[in-house]
């Protein structure tokens, strides 16, 4: 079935396509045919229909997980709980925008924590404090660790920390501690999505540095999509503490798109803005986009505008698909053309879209191997 799936740099929730809407979750599912068959049942994206469809298939897998758990097959129980979590993650997309979305988000977190109870080493639920606010995060560490490197795993705009458990496992597999935190404006991060909210990420770095298991001089960061931007922003905002970074996608670093690229970018954003994921009668869940609006966003968020571009001198690995419709790979070339003469590496997948999720099996563990190599060599 996977070989028959076509590529599309788009946001169509009625089709399963590489690079398309379901790219976010496809690597976390073992049976893409089940995803395809479930999507065929979707007639509307409004929550009255959307949430029950995904909740039903999630419940099937949670029940299977319970059966495996009761029989002592922990490995299969964990797999089933994580599949259930992933379908619930689809149900809550694009976030907690209504009371029902909040409820299903809580269900997603519940099932994820159920899976985490099986893990060794355990997931520790911790709170990072920043300016009187508390951010709930997930910490993991290899057994009996002392003074080892650590990675802050940074989430994006519509994927929460429950969706990044696989990244923390790659950290464990490479001898690294990790902290997974929701991005500002999502999940259990109370800060808004604004440039100054980088302080929340900085507080997370300080938290890692305070752990006795962690070598405070060997902390890196990893991010995907908006998290890919955030990891680079963090590197420029806290260069004395962040020693190596992996940025998958990310926008806007500072690359100025051509007029044709801007038109294509705005077209993609407006295709996404056609759908309502909230209640019947709600407006579209994403606002319409224009070239003027994108230029204002660029002026607000570009690394040059923030005055931090020259601070980014850490080893950096950048990853993306060449056909990315939301974070043009010109951002990668921009970073390669600026900064130190060496220390920046990139992997671009020519037939992949946003974040190259089609090749996650290829770049995921490689990213944490790279981070371990860089941090352990300090």
The confidence score (pLDDT) of residue 197 equals 98
Same-domain status, 92 and 221: no
pLDDT digits (tens, 9 = 90+) for 294-332: 999 999 999 999 999 999 999 999 999 999 989 999 999
What is the pLDDT confidence band of residue 182, given thresholds at 50, 70 and 90? very high
**How many structural domains comprise the chain?**
2
Integer angstrom CA distances of residue 120 from 32, 115, 143, 171, 316: 28, 11, 9, 13, 30
Distance CA 116, CA 113 (A): 5
> What stretches of 15-128 show up as alpha helix (H) in DSSP?
32-39, 47-70, 74-92, 99-116
CATH code, domain with 329 = 3.40.50.1820
Same-domain status, 325 and 202: yes
Q: Using CB atoms within 10 A of its CB, is residue 53 exposed (0-12), middle (13-18) or buried (19+)?
A: middle
pLDDT at 1 over 60: no
The confidence score (pLDDT) of residue 361 equals 96
What is the pLDDT confidence band of residue 10, given thresholds at 50, 70 and 90? confident
Q: Using CB atoms within 10 A of its CB, is residue 340 exposed (0-12), middle (13-18) or buried (19+)?
A: exposed
Residue 177, φ and ψ in degrees, nearest 5: -80, 160
Establish if 308 belongs to a structural domain: yes
Looking at 116, 142, 172, the residue that finishes a domain is 116
Closest Cα partner for 42 from 32, 34, 53? 53
Same-domain status, 60 and 137: no
Asked if omega into 92 is within 30° of 0 (cis), the reply is: no
Same-domain status, 138 and 62: no
Looking at 61, 89, 116, the residue that finishes a domain is 116
- Could you please report the per-residue DSSP string of 272-313? HTT---SSTTPPPSS----HHHHHHHHHHH-TTTTT-GGG--
Same-domain status, 108 and 130: no
Residues in CB range of 250: below 8 A, 6 or more apart: 223, 225, 226, 227, 228, 229, 230, 231, 232, 318, 327, 331
Looking at 82, 116, 150, the residue that finishes a domain is 116
Residue 17 domain boundaries = 2-116
Distance CA 290, CA 248 (A): 25
The confidence score (pLDDT) of residue 2 equals 44
Same-domain status, 176 and 325: yes
């Amino acid at each position: 079935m996977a070989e028959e799936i076509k590529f599309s740099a788009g946001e169509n929730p009625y089709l399963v396509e590489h690079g398309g809407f379901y790219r976010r979750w496809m690597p976390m599912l073992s049976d893409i045919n089940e995803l395809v068959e479930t999507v065929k049942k979707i007639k509307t994206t409004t929550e009255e229909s959307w949430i029950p469809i995904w909740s039903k298939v999630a419940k099937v897998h949670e029940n299977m997980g319970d059966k495996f758990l009761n029989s002592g097959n922990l490995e299969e129980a964990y797999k089933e709980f994580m599949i259930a979590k992933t379908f619930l993650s689809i149900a809550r997309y694009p976030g907690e925008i209504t009371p029902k979305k909040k409820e299903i988000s809580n269900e997603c977190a519940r099932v994820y924590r159920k899976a985490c109870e099986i893990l060794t080493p355990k997931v520790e639920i911790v709170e990072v404090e920043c300016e009187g606010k508390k951010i709930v995060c997930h910490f993991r560490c290899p057994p009996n660790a002392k003074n080892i490197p650590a990675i802050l795993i940074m989430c994006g705009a519509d994927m929460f920390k429950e969706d990044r458990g696989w990244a923390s496992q790659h950290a464990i597999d490479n001898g690294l501690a990790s902290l997974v935190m929701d991005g500002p404006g999502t999940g259990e991060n109370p800060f808004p999505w604004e440039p100054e909210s980088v302080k929340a990420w900085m507080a997370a770095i300080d938290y890692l540095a305070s752990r006795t298991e962690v070598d405070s001089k060997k902390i890196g960061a990893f991010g995907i999509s908006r998290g890919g931007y955030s990891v680079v922003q963090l590197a420029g905002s806290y260069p004395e503490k962040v020693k190596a970074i992996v940025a998958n996608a990310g926008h806007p670093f500072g690359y100025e798109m051509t007029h044709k690229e801007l038109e294509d970018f705005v077209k993609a954003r407006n295709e996404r803005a056609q759908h309502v994921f909230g209640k019947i009668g709600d407006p579209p869940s994403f606002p319409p986009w224009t070239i003027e609006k994108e230029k204002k966003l660029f002026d607000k968020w570009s690394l040059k505008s923030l005055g931090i571009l020259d601070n980014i001198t850490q080893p950096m690995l950048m990853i993306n698909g060449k056909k990315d419709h939301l974070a043009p790979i010109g951002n990668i070339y921009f970073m390669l053309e600026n900064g130190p003469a060496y220390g920046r590496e990139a992997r671009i997948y020519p037939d992949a879209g946003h974040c190259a999720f089609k090749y996650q099996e290829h770049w995921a563990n490689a990213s944490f191997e790279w981070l371990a190599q860089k941090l352990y060599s300090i």
